[in-house]
Chain A
Amino acid sequence: MLTVEGLDVWFGYPPDRVDAVQDASFTVAQGESFGLVGESGSGKSTILRAIAGLIDTWSGRIVVDDQQVEGRRRDRAFHKTVQMVFQDPYASLHPRHSVDRVLSETLKLQGMDDIDRRVQRLLDDVGLGRGFRFRYPHQLSGGQRQRVAIARALAAEPRLLLLDEPTSALDVSVQAEILNLMTDLRAEHGLTYVMVSHDLAVVGHMCDRLAVMQGGRIVEVMKVEDLRQGAASEAYTKSLIEASAGYVRA
């Protein structure tokens, strides 16, 4: 479903050039759920953004659904296949568009009918009741906004979902509901996920395999069973697993 090969992503020009991602390679099979974890600032969001066509300064190969993509150009079929949920739910929602408008416009853009029923269904799926349909982003809590962003991504009925910290703004009970929903959607429709999260337990719950990143590079690709056993080969991964056991006061 997705192949990333020798991906380099940079910003700016020398001497200020930032090499955000260096030589990243991984593949994700149809129906698989793949995790991206690692250091803050290591290039996780940048990889997703390059795949989604939001960055043009990259080289290497990105193949989605057997189609190789170039630069920032993505055709209609791509957007029907791939949707992204952004790390930052505030910035990704238009401040003057109500929840209803965000969802119905996405549905219309995808050429869907029966808009009214579908909007209601999407809101139910992400656990937002009727009271929220006509609210604006500033009238929602952080987690409520994130659920609107997830509903918008699901509206297009994509086959590949790029999820950037989809539940880190959510409390654990809503997180459980959304993760269960995503598990069911994947089982029913064979969806493929690439999911960035700093929460190893969430990655362990949702993913089959994961890549560990540090300083722009993928240091290790591992199976989730190995993550569970704490069987990492890289020192960095080991330290992440150890630190995730909890906070110990210095």
Chain B
Amino acid sequence: MSETLLSVRDLRVAFPTRQGVFEAVRGVSFDLGRERLGVVGESGSGKSMTGRAILGLVRPPGKVTADRLTLDGQSILNLPERKMRAIRGSHISMVMQDPKFSLNPVVKIGDQIMEAYRLHAGRGSGNARDKALEMLAAVQIRDPERVMDAYPHEVSGGMGQRIMIAMMLAPDPEILIADEPTSALDVSVRTEVLNIMDRLVRDRGMGLIFISHDLNLVAQFCDRVLIMYAGRIVETIEAKNLHNARHPYTQGLLNSLPRLDQPVKHLPVLERQDSWRDAPLIDESMETELPGGL
């Protein structure tokens, strides 16, 4: 792997609930280089929470702990909000799972993108409007002029998702955490949006954490994949080998996909095993001795 941008060891996120403390993330460890790292796993397995914890966005009473959480060698664990905001503005961006929810509903889309751009490039930095139009066109928005003047409720689900991607890429981040960034896109627009992210990784050396339910897509688009179950990483594997995954959970996920060429009446579903919660990590490379894997 290329040089390490982000290093995470034994990351945990816990919430007090009526039934006692609930650990949404239970000891996650990995390093991110200048690569496309896929994160897959079932609903509720802690994918989004891992991303939020890295960015300091877990709201109290949630608690984040880790043996290590470093960006370019500097610890970013539980930094004061002011410092964290500076990091979020310029070093790490996150495209949230629900884009329209993260946009300000009463501010025009164009104004929000221009603001994101100015924050990074400084006031009076050229023509923010042109830059914003350019970014909307890059994410395949058909009529960028209209969308600049629209409010978030006036755009479709997939347009909201692309607007959010344009905004998060405006500050030219070192690391992008993209949480289901293409789940509302039709396949042809999706390809264009993925190409943008791909170029940023290849040409500018960005690190990408790509959270997705789409196993086929992750297998084709990413370099490596982390598979999460119940708050832990249960398997790590080269993306191109995903279809030969060894963990029964990963295999179960793969089997439950509907296929155009093989119609069935009922789809196979996962038979979850309690033992998966704490079983040791299956690491393809088997080089690591770190619990939680790399």
Contact = CB atoms under 8 A, between A and B. Distances in A.
Interface of A: 11, 16, 18, 37-41, 44-45, 87-91, 131, 134, 138-139, 141-144, 147, 164-165, 168-177, 179-180, 183, 198, 200-202, 204-205, 215, 227-228, 239-240, 243-244, 246-250
Given A11-B154, A16-B146, A88-B100, A198 B42 contact: no
A204 B260 CA distance: 6
A143 B142 contact: no
Interface string B1-30: 000000000000001011100000000000
Contacts of A176: 256-258, 267-270
Contact of B265 (A37, A39, A175, A183): A183
B269 A177 contact: yes
Contacts of A171: 40-43, 45, 213, 253
Given A180-B266, A243-B188, A142 B258 contact: no
Contacts of B149: 16
B289 interface: no
Nearest to B152: A91
Report, nearest first, the 6 A-B pairs whose CB atoms are least far apart. A143-B43, A40-B158, A176-B267, A205-B258, A176-B256, A243-B187
B157 interface: yes
Interface centre among B146, B187, B188, B257 (most CB of A within 10 A): B187
B238 to A, nearest CB: 15
Nearest to B217: A247
B185 interface: yes
Given A87-B157, A143-B42, 17 more contacts: A18-B146, A40-B186, A45-B157, A141-B48, A165-B183, A168-B183, A171-B41, A172-B215, A172-B253, A174-B43, A179-B258, A201-B259, A202-B258, A215-B142, A227-B260, A244-B187, A247-B220
12 contacts: A40-B159, A40-B189, A41-B158, A138-B59, A142-B48, A142-B98, A164-B157, A176-B258, A180-B269, A198-B186, A198-B187, A204-B260
A140 B266 CA distance: 27
Contact of B159 (A41, A173, A174, A198): A41
B79 interface: no
A172 B256 contact: yes
Contacts of B235: none
